[in-house]
Amino acid sequence: MPSTQPVVRPVAFPKPLAYGTLALQSRYLLSPLAGYTNLPFRLVVRELGGLGLATTDLVNSRGLLAGNRKSLQLIESCPADSPMAVQIFGNDVTMMCDAAQLLEQRHGVESVDINMGCPVDRITKGGSGAGMMRECDKTIGLVAGVASSVAIPVTVKMRLGWDESNISAPMFAAEFEKAGVAAIAIHGRTRAQGFGGQVDLAGIRQVVEAVESIPVIGNGDVRCVADAARMLEFTGCDGVSVGRGALANPWIFRQLDEWERTGEIPPSGNFEQRLQLLMRQFAILEELRGTKSAIIIFRKTAHWYLKAMRVRAWLRHQFQLAKTRSEFEEAIKVIAAEGPIGGSGTDALPDMHIPVPSGPIAHW
């Protein structure tokens, strides 16, 4: 059964996407989402197909060098989690270079991404994340330092600028290209916008026009194939990264990739497929963190899964109360037996609003 998404003409590309020598199988990438783009989520999304590259949540360069447990958990990976980039943040050039070198030594890390977009005060006040957009020479020096300290591709993910009167992304993109950066990902909002307002496609296009040959990845508010088509056509960007849209619909990469290759959009998961995916993601998390922690960590993710599956409110509530493996299994058993509201387990599910987090602020 085809998808219910509107049919749009695929965009033609002269060449596949590559970060320097790292060839990517698709131009649709998973954007880092702190707290969510962990190994279990990356693995299940990869298994659905169509994903070109996944990046970890942002990791503190200082914490990484100190061997901090949380930082090391964030970079956990395995051979199936490939190609994988680790995103680091910090404002000290030596530490950022050392962290990049440490990552390069680690098996499986194929690229390092520098976070220059995080709008959260705690990060920007120290001059990291979007705070880097307020310093010109120091930032260019830091990025050039990191790019020349490792052989694997280094990329930068940034915003359009600090605020609307300081649109600096095109200037930075041109400088970073000269400094040896392999690609730029651009979230089409300023730091001042946070996660509100509209993504500015004209702003993304300015970044595309500012570079000579490195790929530019557009990002922001892509929820379906038509959104990606609009971004690709209007901005001329070489790839699209999707964050929140993938939480609501982990099939989005497969839909995008197949649309580009065939013009057809395969359906996203039905009730049964989503239930299987939920169980698979939980099983990987349980293996990594143990049952008790996994049940707690998984609650927020399960909430979106169950909403998208059209599970009745009282059953969703019941699921959230589970504390043990047997309560978890019992809740799943009832959910599976009930099926979606007004349909069967194999029917296409209607597109519906999934309340994924609007931004990282609430969690930090």
Ligand X SMILES: Cc1cc2nc3c(=O)[nH]c(=O)nc-3n(C[C@H](O)[C@H](O)[C@H](O)COP(=O)(O)O)c2cc1C
Q: Would you name the residues annotated as active-site residues? A: 118
Distance CA 310, CA 326 (A): 23
Number of residue whose CB is nearest ligand X? 243
Which residues are CB-neighbours of 178 under 8 A, at least 6 positions away?
Answer: none
58, β-bridge pairs: 87
Closer to ligand X by Cβ: residue 46 or 191: 191
Strands 154-159 vs 22-23: parallel, antiparallel or unpaired: unpaired
Q: Does 33 bind ligand X (CB under 6 A)?
A: yes
Contact string (CB under 6 A) for ligand X, positions 129-158, x = contact: ----------------------------x-
What are the DSSP calls for 244-262, one per residue? Answer: HHHHH-TTHHHHHHHHHHH
User: Of residues 115, 190, 273, 301, which one binds ligand X by CB under 6 A?
Assistant: 115
Closer to ligand X by Cβ: residue 151 or 361: 361
Name the minimum Å distance from CB 133 to ligand X.
13
Binding residue count for ligand X, defined by CB under 6 A: 24
Closer to ligand X by Cβ: residue 114 or 284: 114
Q: Does 203 bind ligand X (CB under 6 A)?
A: no
Contact string (CB under 6 A) for ligand X, positions 321-360, x = contact: ------------------------------------x-xx
Distance CA 2, CA 4 (A): 7
Distance CA 188, CA 117 (A): 10
Is the CA virtual torsion 42, 46, 48, 49 positive or negative? positive
Q: What type of residue sits at position 326?
A: S
Residue 122 three-state SS: helix
Site for ligand X in 209-268 (CB under 6 A): 219-222, 242-245
Task: Extract the tokens encoding 258.
Answer: 């197949």
Name the minimum Å distance from CB 221 to ligand X.
5
User: Of residues 34, 225, 275, 309, which one binds ligand X by CB under 6 A?
Assistant: 34
Q: Does 74 bind ligand X (CB under 6 A)?
A: no
Distance CA 147, CA 141 (A): 10
User: Of residues 5, 57, 146, 207, which one binds ligand X by CB under 6 A?
Assistant: 57
Closer to ligand X by Cβ: residue 58 or 265: 58
Closer to ligand X by Cβ: residue 63 or 357: 357
Name the minimum Å distance from CB 80 to ligand X.
22
Closer to ligand X by Cβ: residue 216 or 332: 216
Q: Are 157 and 87 in contact (CB under 8 A)?
A: yes
| Burial (CB count <10 Å: 0-12, 13-18, 19+), residue 352 | exposed
| Interface segment toward ligand X; rule CB under 6 A; list 33-41, 229-237, 249-257, 285-293 | 33-41
Q: Does 10 bind ligand X (CB under 6 A)?
A: no
What are the DSSP calls for 146-196, one per residue? Answer: HHHH-SS-EEEEEES-SSTT---HHHHHHHHHHTT--EEEEESS-TTTTT-
User: Of residues 17, 58, 64, 309, which one binds ligand X by CB under 6 A?
Assistant: 58
Closer to ligand X by Cβ: residue 90 or 357: 357
Q: What is the CA radius of gyration of the chain?
A: 20
Kindly report the backbone phi and psi dihedral angles of residue 87, in degrees, each rounded to the nearest multiple of 5, phi listed first: -95, 125
Say which residue the tokens 């998984």 belong to. Answer: 298
Q: Does 187 bind ligand X (CB under 6 A)?
A: yes
Name the minimum Å distance from CB 59 to ligand X.
9
Name the minimum Å distance from CB 240 to ligand X.
9
Task: Extract the tokens encoding 45.
Answer: 């999304």
Q: In the complex, which residues of this chain contact ligand X (CB under 6 A)?
A: 31-35, 57-58, 87, 115, 117-118, 157, 187, 219-222, 242-245, 357, 359-360
